[in-house]
């Protein structure tokens, strides 16, 4: 049980690190722009 909680914490820390790195590099804005374009194409506005 102890090993499982350690693995969970390690994976959580790695995931948070990747989120922070992406946010610092400005990737959130790129993802948002791509999502907007996909939605506009789906409803026929793009």
Q: What is the pLDDT of residues 18-44, one digit of tens each?
A: 999 999 998 988 888 888 888 877 887
- The whole-number average pLDDT for the span 1-22 is 92
> What is the mean predicted confidence (pLDDT) over 2-31?
93
**Which pTM was predicted?**
0.60
- Count the domains in the chain: 1
**pLDDT score for 16:** 97
Contact of 34 with 43, CB cutoff 8 Å: no
Asked if the model's pLDDT at residue 7 lies above 90, the reply is: yes
Which residue segment(s) compose the domain that 28 sits in? 2-42
So what's the pLDDT on residue 4? Answer: 86
What gap in Å lies between CA 31 and CA 4, rounded to an integer?
32
């Amino acid at each position: 049980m102890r090993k499982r909680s350690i693995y969970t914490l390690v994976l959580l820390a790695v995931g948070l690190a990747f989120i922070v790195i992406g946010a610092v590099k400005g990737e959130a804005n790129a993802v948002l722009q791509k999502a907007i374009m996909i939605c506009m194409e789906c409803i026929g506005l793009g």
